[in-house]
């Protein structure tokens, strides 16, 4: 099977990317979704607060997804459900190979060099390969597990990532526990503190390793404060008790190097430990393709077109970097869809091979002094749209600091911020004209300056 564009993932990123691609003239496209329905993780996010930026109203997760799903249906964008992408490779350049490639569909006799081979499988159609000119990566992310957190203790039932518990409660109507301690103040953990309380469980504590919360301020207020759930910063779980089922966890205070302080241990009786300690982009497929990764985001490095170092491979949403609000995912994915369309229509000139003076030079964006990373990680002033949103996260909590943008070391903008926190994504909009007017631009720098 051949397709112009394959979108891997039918969550918020994949949906918005597909819509944008279609609206920009790509008709031969397909969304591949591993779950039984479109919408991704939004389907289990039944709380409201989604869409304030995009729709200027408060929607629940399924409602927000529904808006995009309706649009996908209206535009007649094809999608495949319960379909897993099992491999993603690229036909090597200049190798207009016979389909001797064992993964290729027997019908596709010749595959074009540079094509992407997306091997999928599902119950109805079995295993086959789609040859695509462009691919949008929109696989989302997963939660950090207990094992990755190195929490010592027994391994009983009753330890769930917050998202797993959310699925049990919101999708199955079943409670995974009665007395709960939550480790990590990521947004899902905060949302689940409220949900478990509303559904009749007792949430005894949210412990956060860092001296600040990893979630949105509004979630701290609405999910913890409003329900009288205590949040202990600079605390972690140092032991899990109970052989079959969790019986208690031991929580201790940590020092500035996140090491537990002896003597501060407190045993809390509970039958459930929920973990909300960070999300990790799911880039195993990107790895198969050999896409260059950013070790800070665990997502691909992309340029202004949200294109990875592999031409025709774009990334958006949580697979690219973990977002706080879905609205930004949709916005970013829309851009990815547009750029994929431009690429397919030959409007996105190839990177380094272009003529000098025209498109072709990628200007790196360096994240320094408190800025952990930027997306994109580089941009081409000639190729970019009139404006470019640069998203980033900071590595610490800052009060009354400024986000400073420099060109070749010269500060070109400084925006005051009352508060900056790692839990909230920030953005700066760069103007094409500003970049083009700057003589000999070699490097853009993003930094935080304390006043």
Closer to another protein at the Cβ: 123 or 257? 123
Q: Which is nearer to another protein, 20 or 139 (CB)?
A: 139
Q: How far is the CB of 278 from another protein (least distance, A)?
A: 12
Q: Which residues pair with 235 in a beta bridge?
A: 253
CB of 208 to another protein, least distance (A): 19
For residue 7, the minimal CB distance to another protein (Å) is 17
Separation of alpha carbons 382 and 433, rounded Å:
10
Q: Which is nearer to another protein, 159 or 348 (CB)?
A: 159
Pick 200 or 356: Cβ nearer another protein = 200
Q: Which of 239/309 has CB closer to another protein?
A: 239
Q: Phi first, then psi: give them for residue 194, nearest 5 degrees.
A: -70, -45
**Positions that interact with another protein (CB under 8 A):** 34, 82, 84, 86, 102-103, 119, 121-124, 126-127, 142-143, 145-148, 150, 152-158, 160-161, 163-164, 167-169, 171-178, 199-201, 238-240, 243-245, 260, 271-272, 284, 287
Selection from 222, 212, 146, 161 nearest residue 185 by Cα: 212
Cα 407 to Cα 365: distance, rounded to the nearest angstrom:
9
Which lies closer to another protein via its Cβ, residue 24 or residue 60?
60
Q: Which is nearer to another protein, 248 or 344 (CB)?
A: 248
Strands (E), 331-370: 363-367
Cα dihedral value 16, 216, 297, 321, nearest 10: 0
Q: How far is the CB of 292 from another protein (least distance, A)?
A: 15
CB of 156 to another protein, least distance (A): 6
Minimum distance between the CB of residue 362 and another protein, rounded to whole angstroms? Answer: 27
Q: Least distance to another protein from the beta carbon of 32, Å?
A: 12
**18-21 contacts: CB < 8 A, separation 24 or more?**
18/72, 18/77, 18/79, 18/136, 18/337, 19/68, 19/71, 19/72, 19/75, 19/77, 19/334, 19/337, 20/333, 20/334, 20/335, 20/336, 20/337, 20/338, 20/341, 21/136, 21/337, 21/338, 21/340, 21/341
Measured between alpha carbons, how far is 264 from 253 in angstroms, rounded to an integer? 6
Dig out the tokens for 320 from the structure. 């690219």
Identify which of residues 270 and 325 has a Cβ nearer to another protein in the complex. Answer: 270
Shortest distance (Å) from residue 152 CB to another protein: 5
- Taking every pair of C-alpha atoms in the chain, what is the biggest distance, in angstroms? 69
The minimum distance between CB 2 and another protein, in angstroms, equals 18
* Residue 268: Cβ-neighbour burial (10 angstroms; 0-12, 13-18, 19+): middle
Residue 282 Cβ vs another protein, minimum distance, rounded to whole Å: 8
Nearer to another protein, 106 or 256 (CB): 106
Residue 306 sits at φ, ψ, to 5 deg, of 60, 30
| Closest CB to another protein among residues 176, 312 | 176
Q: Cβ 175 to another protein, closest distance in Å? A: 5
Q: What count of other Cβ atoms lies within 10 Å of the Cβ of residue 57?
A: 11
405 closest CA partner among 444, 355, 361, 368 = 444
Q: Name which of 90 and 164 has its Cβ closer to another protein.
A: 164
Strands 79-80 and 371-375: unpaired
Measured CA to CA, the distance from residue 31 to residue 40 in angstroms comes to 12
Exposed, middle or buried: residue 229 (CB in 10 Å: 0-12, 13-18, 19+)? buried
- Burial per residue of 117-135, b for 16 or more beta-carbon CB atoms within 10 angstroms, e otherwise: bbbbebeeeeebbbbbbbb
Q: Which helix (H) or strand (E) holds 273?
A: strand 272-275
């Amino acid at each position: 099977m051949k397709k112009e564009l394959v979108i891997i993932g039918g969550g918020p990123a994949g949906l918005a990317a597909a819509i944008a691609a279609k609206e920009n003239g790509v008709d031969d496209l397909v969304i591949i979704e591993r779950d039984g329905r479109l919408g991704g993780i939004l389907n289990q996010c039944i709380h409201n607060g989604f869409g304030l930026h995009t729709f200027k109203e408060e929607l629940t997760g399924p409602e927000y997804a529904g808006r995009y799903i309706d649009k996908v249906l209206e535009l007649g964008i094809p999608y495949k459900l319960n379909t897993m992408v099992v491999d993603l490779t690229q036909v090597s350049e200049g190798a207009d190979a016979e389909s001797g490639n064992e993964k290729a569909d027997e019908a596709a006799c010749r595959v074009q060099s540079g094509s992407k081979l997306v091997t999928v499988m599902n119950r109805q159609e079995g295993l086959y390969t789609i040859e695509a000119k462009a691919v949008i990566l929109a696989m989302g992310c997963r939660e950090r597990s207990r094992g990755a957190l190195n929490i010592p203790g027994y391994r009983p039932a009753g330890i769930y990532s917050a998202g797993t518990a959310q699925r049990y409660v919101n999708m199955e109507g079943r409670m995974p526990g009665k007395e709960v301690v939550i480790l990590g103040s990521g947004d899902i953990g905060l949302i689940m503190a409220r949900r478990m309380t509303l559904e009749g469980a007792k949430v005894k504590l949210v412990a956060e390793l860092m001296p600040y919360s990893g979630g949105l301020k509004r979630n701290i207020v609405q999910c913890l404060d409003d329900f009288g759930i205590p949040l202990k910063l600079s605390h972690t779980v140092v032991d899990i008790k109970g052989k079959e089922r969790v019986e208690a966890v031991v929580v201790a205070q940590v020092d500035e190097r996140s090491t537990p302080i002896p003597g501060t241990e407190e045993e809390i009786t509970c039958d459930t430990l929920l973990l909300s300690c960070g999300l990790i982009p799911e880039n195993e497929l990107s790895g198969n393709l050999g896409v260059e990764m950013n070790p800070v985001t665990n997502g691909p490095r992309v340029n202004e077109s949200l294109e990875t170092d592999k031409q025709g491979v774009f990334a958006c949403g949580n697979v690219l970097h973990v977002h706080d609000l879905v609205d930004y995912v949709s916005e970013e994915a829309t851009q990815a869809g547009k750029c994929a369309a431009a690429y397919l229509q030959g409007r996105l000139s190839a990177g380094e091979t272009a003529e000098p003076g025209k498109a072709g030079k990628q200007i790196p964006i360096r994240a320094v002094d408190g800025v952990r990373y930027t997306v994109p990680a580089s941009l081409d002033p000639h190729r970019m749209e009139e404006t470019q949103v640069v998203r980033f996260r900071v590595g610490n909590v800052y009060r009354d600091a400024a986000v400073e943008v420099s060109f070749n070391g010269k500060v070109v903008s400084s925006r005051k911020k009352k508060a900056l926190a790692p839990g909230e994504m920030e953005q700066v909009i760069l103007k094409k004209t500003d970049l083009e007017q700057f003589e000999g631009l070699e490097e853009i720098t993003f930094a935080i300056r304390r006043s």
